Homo-oligomer: A and B are copies of this chain.
Amino acid sequence: MTDKVAIREVGLRDGLQLITTQLSTEQKLIWVEKQIKAGFREMEVTSFVPPKLLPQFSDATEMIALSNKFKNFTPTAIVLNKKGAERAITAGTKKITFVLSASEKHNQANVRCSTDESLMKFKQITNLSYTKNQKINIAGAIATSFGCSMQGSINENRVLELASVMLDAGACEIILADTVGYANPTQVKSLFSKLKSHIGKCTMAAHFHDTRAMGLANVVSALEAGVRHFDTTLAGLGGCPFAPGASGNIATEDCVYMLENMGFNTGINFKELLEVRNYLAEILPEETLEGKLSVAKPAINSTTG
């Protein structure tokens, strides 16, 4: 297992979504720049949701325009519907992540329509990107792929069906997201192994939360099923709206440290990464920063130096 593994930092979106500190566009761009310096090639930098709902992302258009200026770097943005996609495309977004939920209840709560209606919107958006004659990559993210705190278990076949429809409609990537931290390693291995036979030349990515301590254990299982793309947040930023006080996403630094020490190549400079974390501590003084490597420091024989 000496493959390359790609880490997409989603702290600027999933990490900021629930916190009260409002970062300025300038602070966000310094964060992006520092993370690029540490070796990142893709970051989810914003979300095209109505600014009234999430003021944190009211600078979505500027974030895309300014992040697009960095070389060898792909800034991505979340969209949930056609209007968001139109705003994203107008802003010049090169890669869009469309999110729907495998759980009907969660989809209704999140975007007030059924999952099938969301699928229709996904198709409209892929058509839209053709119409505008812009080359836009569209990833399909399936939230609550491993369970839902409103609905409970999620049928594996439903997740695979949603993935297939999105792949047929032109998705470049399928992201299975464990939105509420329900996934366990057995389940992760099973679902990604099945997805692998549908994925073709497209990318399969995993988005895990550490709510129930299984985040990195799930990464190990996903690796075994062939996943080489992971979403993480620096300092484990982001929480779970359904479990106040619980942990958020898996921490970028802990995940990178594990992967490098397992023999994978992430292309990330670990020391630079911890420097970005120091910057976060500076601009987010009131937030709880998670992640164990900043406390324990790398082992003296670590491959991360």
Instruction: Give the distance in Å from the alpha carbon of A300 to the alpha carbon of B254 in the complex.
Output: 28
Instruction: Give the distance in Å from the alpha carbon of A297 to the alpha carbon of B262 in the complex.
Output: 30
**Interface check A184, CB cutoff 8 A:** yes
Does the CB pair B185–A295 fall under 8 Å?
A: no
**Interface check A210, CB cutoff 8 A:** yes
Q: How large is the interface on A (under 10, 10 to 19, 20 to 34, 35 or more residues)?
A: 35 or more
Instruction: Give the distance in Å from the alpha carbon of A1 to the alpha carbon of B184 in the complex.
Output: 13
Known: A243-B296, A296-B247, A297-B243. A262 touches B212 (CB 8 A): no
Does the CB pair B211–A246 fall under 8 Å?
A: no
Does the CB pair B292–A213 fall under 8 Å?
A: yes
**Interface check A299, CB cutoff 8 A:** yes
A300, closest chain B residue (CB): B152
Known: A186-B263, A301-B153. A214 touches B296 (CB 8 A): no
**Interface check A169, CB cutoff 8 A:** no
- Which of A182, A263, A298 has most chain B Cβ within 10 Å? A182
- In the assembled complex, the CB of A303 is this many whole angstroms from the nearest CB of chain B, namely 9
**Interface check A11, CB cutoff 8 A:** no
Contact residues in B for A1 (Cβ distance below 8 Å)? 186
Instruction: Give the distance in Å from the alpha carbon of A184 to the alpha carbon of B303 in the complex.
Output: 11
**Interface check A261, CB cutoff 8 A:** yes
Does the CB pair A247–B301 fall under 8 Å?
A: no
Does the CB pair A246–B149 fall under 8 Å?
A: no
**Interface check A48, CB cutoff 8 A:** no
Instruction: Find A213's partner among B185, B263, B293 (CB 8 Å cutoff).
Output: B293
Q: Which positions 249-298 of chain A face chain B at CB distance < 8 Å?
A: 251, 254, 257-258, 261-263, 291-293, 295-298
Contact residues in B for A180 (Cβ distance below 8 Å)? 299
Q: Which positions 183-225 of chain A face chain B at CB distance < 8 Å?
A: 184-187, 210-214, 216-217, 219-221
A: which residues have CB within 8 A of B?
1, 147, 149, 152-153, 180-182, 184-187, 210-214, 216-217, 219-221, 240, 243, 245-247, 251, 254, 257-258, 261-263, 291-293, 295-301
Q: Besides the contacts A212-B257, A246-B295, what 6 more A-B pairs have beta carbons closer than 8 Å?
A: A152-B301, A153-B301, A184-B258, A184-B261, A185-B220, A220-B221
Q: Can you list 7 A-B contacts with CB-CB less than 8 angstroms, sorted by A residue number?
A: A149-B299, A149-B300, A182-B301, A185-B220, A213-B251, A243-B297, A247-B295
